[in-house]
């Protein structure tokens, strides 16, 4: 994410500590609850829904597009969160049409080998 960015949208991040420097596109929410949130899962009402019934390997690697529906991927989440404490905010759409959310101050995704 660009330092000082204030507009929600797709940003390029570099979560991997290896020398490969592989960039990852993510949706950043700069408005909700003060902004600065990386969206790791997005479902939207649209004509053709992205199929989220997938294998573990798909969830490890991530799938979809941050421009619409996507899951960032367990490996990217691990790379982003393993070295320091992060907060997580979960926003959930309700069948009634409303929504609810919860915020947790400590969030971390361990590596696959640590379970």
For 11, other C-beta atoms within 10 Å of its C-beta total 18
89 contact partners, CB below 8 Å, separation of at least 6: 32, 33, 37, 101, 102, 103, 104
Whether residue 47 contacts residue 33, with contact meaning beta carbons closer than 8 Å, is answered with no
SS3 28: strand
Whether residue 73 contacts residue 41, with contact meaning beta carbons closer than 8 Å, is answered with no
The pTM of this model reads 0.85
Whether residue 110 contacts residue 78, with contact meaning beta carbons closer than 8 Å, is answered with yes
**Domain locations along the chain:** 9-114
SS3 86: strand
The chain-wide mean pLDDT, for the chain, equals 89
- What's the pLDDT tens digit per position in 54-86? 999 999 999 999 999 999 999 999 999 998 889
Between vectors from CA 60 to CA 94 and to CA 82, what angle results, nearest 5°? 90
The pLDDT of residue 19 is 57
Instruction: Examine the pLDDT at 30 and tell me if it is beyond 90.
Output: yes
Find residue 86's DSSP bridge partners.
107
Percentage of the chain surpassing pLDDT 90? 66
- What is the topology classification, in CATH, of domain 9-114? Gamma Fibrinogen; Chain A, domain 1 (3.90.215)
Instruction: Examine the pLDDT at 89 and tell me if it is beyond 90.
Output: yes
The pLDDT of residue 1 is 44
């Amino acid at each position: 994410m660009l330092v000082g960015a204030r507009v929600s949208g797709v940003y390029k991040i570099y979560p991997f500590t290896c020398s490969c420097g592989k960039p990852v596109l993510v949706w950043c929410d700069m408005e909700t609850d003060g902004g600065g949130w990386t969206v790791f899962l997005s479902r939207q009402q649209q004509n053709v829904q992205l199929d989220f019934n997938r294998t573990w390997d798909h969830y490890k690697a991530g799938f979809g597009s941050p421009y619409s529906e996507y899951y960032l991927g367990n490996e990217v989440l691990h790379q982003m969160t393993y070295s320091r404490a992060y907060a997580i905010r979960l926003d959930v759409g309700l069948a009634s049409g409303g929504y609810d959310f919860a915020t947790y101050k400590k969030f971390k995704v361990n590596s696959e080998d640590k379970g």
